[in-house]
Structures are given as C-alpha cells and as structure tokens.
Amino acid sequence: MIEYCMKFLELLNQTGLIAAHRGARSIAPENTLIALKKSLGKCDFIEIDVQLSRDGAAIVMHDDTLERTTNVTEIERFKSRKPYRVCDFTLEELRALDYGSWFYKDKNHKEPLLTLRGSLEFIKENNIFLNIEIKDMSGVLGDDVAVEAVVKEIKESDAQELVLLSSFRHEYLKLAKEKLPDVPTAALVEGKHPHRLIKYLMELGASGYTLNDELVDKQTVMMLREAGFFVGVYTVNDSARAKELFSMGVNCIFSDSLEKRGSFL
Ligand code: G3P
Ligand code: MG
C-alpha cells in the first residue's frame, strides 16, 4: 500500500475513534452546520454526505429526496415537484428550504442548507477532520462530473489535509485518487465484501474500508489491519458493541450518539 504522510491517515491508524455520523445527529438536524458545531469536542472527526444539485453545486444531504429532512412539501411552488429528488432542484431552490424544523418539530426553528464549501470552511476554522461521503449519483450523473465537483471544492478551499473521501460507488474513489493523490479514501460497503478484498482495495488505492456492523467479523478486521488498511464500522450506537468492535481492532465507529462517547471505550 502506498504510504501517505497525511495527518488524517495517522489519526485513522489509531483505534477507539468516534466519527460524528452526519454531524451530531441525535441532538441536531443531520448534515447541517449546527450539527457540525455540536460535534466539536465530542468526536475525532465528522462524517457528512455530499451530492450535487441540478446545477452542479455540491451540497450536504443524505437522502436522494428532500422529503424527510426539509420542509419541501410545505412550499407551494414546489408542490408539483414530487418525488422531490435533490438532483432536480437548483442550488437557489435548495437554499429556499428549511433543514431544521422537521427535527425540532418547531416551525420557527429553521436551519439553512449546508454546502460542501460551507463544511470545508467550518473544518478549516475549527481544525477538525472531515469524512466526505460522496453519495452514489450514477443514475443521474457521469462519475467524472460527480467526483470533479467535490475535488474542485476541496482544492479551492485548500482543505486536502483535513479530508477523507469515501463512497459506496468505488469508481469515484479511483477517480478521486487520480485527481487528489494525497487525500486518503475509504471504500464503503454493506451486505457483502468485494471478491478478493485486499487485492481489490489495493487496486482502488484505498487507505481504508468502512463496513456496516452486521458484516463485521474479527478475522476480516485482523486481515485488513495486517494489510495496512484502517477499518471503520457504521452505525454504532450501543456501548457494549462499540467496545467489542474496538477490541477486535476496528479503528473507528460512526455513531449518532456522541453523548455516549465516554462509554464506547
Ligand atoms: O460513512 C458511513 C455511513 O455514513 C454510511 O451510511 O447511509 O449513513 O451514509 P449512510
Ligand atoms: Mg454517510
């Protein structure tokens, strides 16, 4: 595996790390600036989900559609826009929505759209690492367009040293490695491991492997660690399970429950 002199990678090679999954998701609306702010001091790094608006802006949002985490269904001019896919809305339209009141159940508690640029400014100001998960947009966009939009933001923000790129769409990781060779990447998986896992990760140029909790077994964790890859597990909110995973050698867990951090170790 290629050796990178990156600070984030040095951190990721430690164990007992907690990633704030979508920000401090249990106490703030996920993937918003307030969720990032509330993560500070409670995690080792923050994870966000990124996708592109119709006009190509990199924005922070988990779901493919806007219904769950915005007030889109309440806005008259958007009534005809079902199923409210993120990729069908322009940046200007996305900025018109509220990302807070669904969470607080209080119509006056609004939160603005968070862009990737806004997230990068935040991590630079606060000197915290950020895992940018690039959502799979292969149904609507070419791979290069998707990756280039994210890479451009990282370069323009000069945030290369503070970010990790991950995706379930592994083609993105290959492209990202070509464009930003010094930025570490992690392959995200759920359900089943790729065939010949170590060789597969080496060919991708990935530094790490992030898998869903149900797929974890000690032997695979050991094999990955011995081969020099860091191992992340999502989503872990139970203290006993967190301890068990760390004792297997897992480097980091992605958790919604940052308030339990002390009991995870
Ligand atoms: O990056 C780990 C985790 O965020 C992957 O799942 O669906 O929460 O983005 P999801
Ligand atoms: Mg994610």
| 6-25 exposure pattern, b = at least 16 Cβ within 10 A, e = fewer | bebbebbeebebbbbbbbbb
Q: Which atom of ligand 1 is nearest to the CA of 135?
A: 9
CATH number for the domain harbouring residue 11? 3.20.20.190
Domain for residue 86, yes or no? no
Q: Which atom of ligand 1 is nearest to the CA of 166?
A: 1
Domain for residue 206, yes or no? yes
Domain for residue 90, yes or no? no
User: How many Cα atoms within 13 Å fall on the side-chain side of residue 39?
Assistant: 33
Give the per-residue pLDDT at 5: 43
The finding on whether 209 has its CB within 6 A of some atom of ligand 1 is: no
Domain for residue 81, yes or no? no
Domain for residue 79, yes or no? no
* Closest CA to ligand 1's atom 10: 62
Q: Which atom of ligand 1 is nearest to the CA of 62?
A: 9
145 Cβ partners below 8 Å, 6+ apart?
52, 56
Q: Which long-range contacts (CB under 8 A, 24 or more apart) does 217-225 make?
A: 218/248, 218/249, 220/193, 221/248, 221/249, 221/250, 222/248, 222/249, 223/197, 223/198, 224/197, 224/198, 225/249, 225/251
Q: What is the pLDDT of residues 56-85, one digit of tens each?
A: 999 999 999 999 999 999 999 999 999 999
Q: Strand pairing partners for 210?
A: 188, 232
The radius of gyration of the chain from alpha carbons, rounded to an integer in Å, stands at 18
| Rounded percentage of the chain residues whose pLDDT exceeds 90 | 96
Find the mean pLDDT for residues 204-224.
98
- Residue 213 structural domain: 2-62+115-264
Distance from C-alpha of 39 to C-alpha of 252, rounded to nearest angstrom? 16
Confidence of residue 6 (pLDDT cuts 50, 70, 90): low
Find the mean pLDDT for residues 46-60.
98
* Closest CA to ligand 1's atom 2: 234
Residue 48 DSSP code:
E
The finding on whether 98 has its CB within 6 A of some atom of ligand 1 is: no
Q: 196, exposed or middle or buried, with CB in 10 Å at 0-12, 13-18, 19+?
A: exposed
Given ligand 1 and candidates 12, 31, 47, 250, which is best to mutate, with the most ligand atoms within 8 Å of its CB?
A: 47
Structural domain count of the chain: 1
Domain for residue 152, yes or no? yes
Domain for residue 73, yes or no? no
Distance from C-alpha of 254 to C-alpha of 235, rounded to nearest angstrom? 5
Domain for residue 101, yes or no? no
Record the pTM.
Answer: 0.97
